[in-house]
Amino acid sequence: MNTVKSKLYITSTPIGNYDDITLRALETLKKVDFVICEEYKEARRLLSHYGIEKELISMNEHNEGEVAEEILTRLTKENLQAALISDCGTPLFSDPGKLLIKLCIQNEIEIIPLPGANSLITALMGAGLNLDRFYFYGWLSPKKEIRSKELNQLRGTREVIAIMETPYRLLRLLEDILNVFGPGIQCVLAYELTSPGELFLRGKISEIFKTAQEKHLKGEFVLLVDNSRRN
């Protein structure tokens, strides 16, 4: 089996501002044989903005096992090249694709990561916190009991803690942090990063929660909890 030509490009895309795509990412999206995405709608909108037409294959949390095997077959038997993208930002951070990467490595298909926009790093850059060390937790469980257990365990982590959630659970997350960590814990809410509505709220979680309620915030975000100074 000849896999010399087969390649998988892990391709970072913008998180809110289309100007943030790299020249290398554009070149890659134009030259690959097909693009692996999460949702067709988001991928088509992205590619259309840059005037790129490509075959799309959707791989998400519901079909990753089956689709990853199909993609592997195409890459190996047809000697093709593909780009893996997420709905926005850098793939694989709480997004589908880990199984595909594992299969490609096992079958000696070259993996090429293309750096670019990332909501986590962007949030940390503008946070104004000590970033010598931080803890990326990612997504909490949507189940109340498990979520409560996760948050109470995080209270013992003496670092800046990065948490992500869906837009419609923003207020719920802020309220959970307030209840578990206490109203005085210092946080940074990085909201709608790189978009026209970009907003950084810095201060006590009680103040951030109140502002988020008043402004009816409901958008993409990263929450940074500064537990490094907790007594």
pLDDT digits (tens, 9 = 90+) for 190-216: 999 999 999 999 999 999 999 999 999
User: Do 83 and 101 belong together in one domain?
Assistant: yes
Q: What tokens were used for 168?
A: 């419609």
Name the nearest CA neighbour of 20 among 87, 123, 121, 89.
Answer: 89
Residues in the chain, how many?
Answer: 231
User: Do 128 and 217 belong together in one domain?
Assistant: yes
Name the nearest CA neighbour of 201 among 211, 213, 215, 193.
Answer: 211
- Domain end, chosen from 67, 92, 114, is at 114
pLDDT tens digits, residue range 119-162?
999 999 999 999 899 999 999 999 999 999 999 999 999 999 99
Distance between CA atoms of 227 and 172, rounded to whole angstroms? 19
Please say whether the dihedral angle defined by the alpha carbons of residues 146, 152, 158 and 163, taken in this order, is positive or negative: positive
User: Do 163 and 201 belong together in one domain?
Assistant: yes
Distance between CA atoms of 54 and 10, rounded to whole angstroms? 16
Average per-residue pLDDT for the chain: 94
User: Do 85 and 143 belong together in one domain?
Assistant: no
Q: What tokens were used for 121?
A: 């790093």
